[in-house]
Amino acid sequence: MPQRGSASGPQYNGISPPNLDLPWPESPETITANLLKLTEAVENPRTKFIFSRLITHLHQFVGETSLTTEEWMTAINFLTRTGQACTPIRQEFILLSDVLGVSALVDGLNNPKVSGGTASSVLGPFFTDDAPDVTIGDTIASEGMGEYMYVEGRVLDTHGKPVPNATIETWETDSEGFYDTQYSDRTRPDCRGRLRSDEEGRYGYRAVVPVAYAIPGDGPVGELLTHLNRHNMRPNHLHVSIEAPGYRKLVTALYARGDKWLSSDAVFGVKRSLVVDLKVVDNEEEARLRGFPNGKTFKLLQFDFVLVPSEEAEVARQKFVVGKAKI
């Protein structure tokens, strides 16, 4: 807050009044029209395009719904609380975007299916950039985090050629259905790791079988779902994000067949091609060979990820670009 006599308060940004003969904003229609005219002053064509569409649709929404002052304040309060629920490791706005289907929509537009390429899926709010580096065969989960699972396969391109040295980020829930970031006493990352594919594009790591989980219900987004009579469950899944020079970054997830929430995922992330079988391996020798310290049973998830060359990906994306203004 500024103090009298100090210069620390809001300052004029120096932009001149517009050289436009705008009618005084005395009716709803004038307000929209004036704002659209003002938007003409935006220099960046893409920003101008996005902002003019935003104003048009937002104002149309207010008009169509005859939004009451109370409803508008409810929305403002909701957004305020959504912001307040965010912390360095909790992202309530991503969650909001997820449950409104916007994340899936943006993902779908930017990563359209390219023949042979692995489909993308939503990033979700639980990615962190502090995953530890692991090597092939290592575990990403500490002992006791859940039922053993071994994940293996190859990273290939759309011609079946191995992609060596691809960076693979992977994260998942423990057997309680929680990500490490959801524990208030988190001291280090768990159930997440970063590894690289080998010369033949192979990867493999020990993990735990993820379980279906409720997205956080103790914040405004959870309240919203309850208000809308929607469940807040996600089917069990393993997140994987893969990057390699020359290829479109793949952000995806693998979903275990048979989960009861597969067809009604709260964040619209499931695609048929991402549903996988978890094979049961019941063999002590095999368990030791894979590095599991205890028991003789584990689940095996085998999946080859197929990356799309950047140029091919961009051609596919351009087919979805609406409007003439581009970045």
Using CB under 5 A, which of the segments 31-39, 67-75, 93-101, 123-131 binds Fe ion?
Answer: 123-131
Question: Contact, 327 vs 48, CB < 8 A?
Answer: no
Using CB under 5 A, which of the segments 17-25, 29-37, 122-130, 147-155 binds Fe ion?
Answer: 122-130
- Pure H helices in 100-213: 102-110
Using CB under 5 A, which of the segments 50-58, 119-127, 273-281, 296-304 binds Fe ion?
Answer: 119-127
Residue 235 makes contact with Fe ion by CB under 5 A = no
Residue 216 makes contact with Fe ion by CB under 5 A = no
Minimum distance of Fe ion from residue 230's CB (angstroms): 17
Rounded CA separation 324/50 (Å): 11
Residue 124 makes contact with Fe ion by CB under 5 A = yes
Minimum distance of Fe ion from residue 239's CB (angstroms): 6
The DSSP code for 73 is H
Using CB under 5 A, which of the segments 4-12, 73-81, 117-125, 193-201 binds Fe ion?
Answer: 117-125
When the beta carbons of 117 and 124 are compared against Fe ion, the nearer one is: 124
When the beta carbons of 212 and 316 are compared against Fe ion, the nearer one is: 212
When the beta carbons of 85 and 266 are compared against Fe ion, the nearer one is: 266
Minimum distance of Fe ion from residue 174's CB (angstroms): 12
Q: How far is CA 19 from CA 16, 37, 40, 43, 130, in A?
A: 8, 11, 11, 15, 50
Residue 189 makes contact with Fe ion by CB under 5 A = no
Using CB under 5 A, which of the segments 40-48, 121-129, 156-164, 184-192 binds Fe ion?
Answer: 121-129
Q: How far is CA 219 from CA 78, 83, 296, in A?
A: 10, 10, 41
- CA-wise closest residue to 307 among 253, 243, 255: 243
Residue 269 makes contact with Fe ion by CB under 5 A = no
Each as own residue / partner, the long-range contacts of residues 89-93 (CB below 8 Å, 24 or more positions apart, any chain) are 89/128, 89/181, 89/186, 90/125, 90/181, 90/216, 91/125, 92/125, 92/216, 92/219, 92/220, 92/221
Give bridge partners of residue 83 from the DSSP assignment: none
Minimum distance of Fe ion from residue 233's CB (angstroms): 11
Rounded CA separation 245/311 (Å): 12
Q: Please report, as ranges, the residues that interact with Fe ion according to CB under 5 A.
A: 124
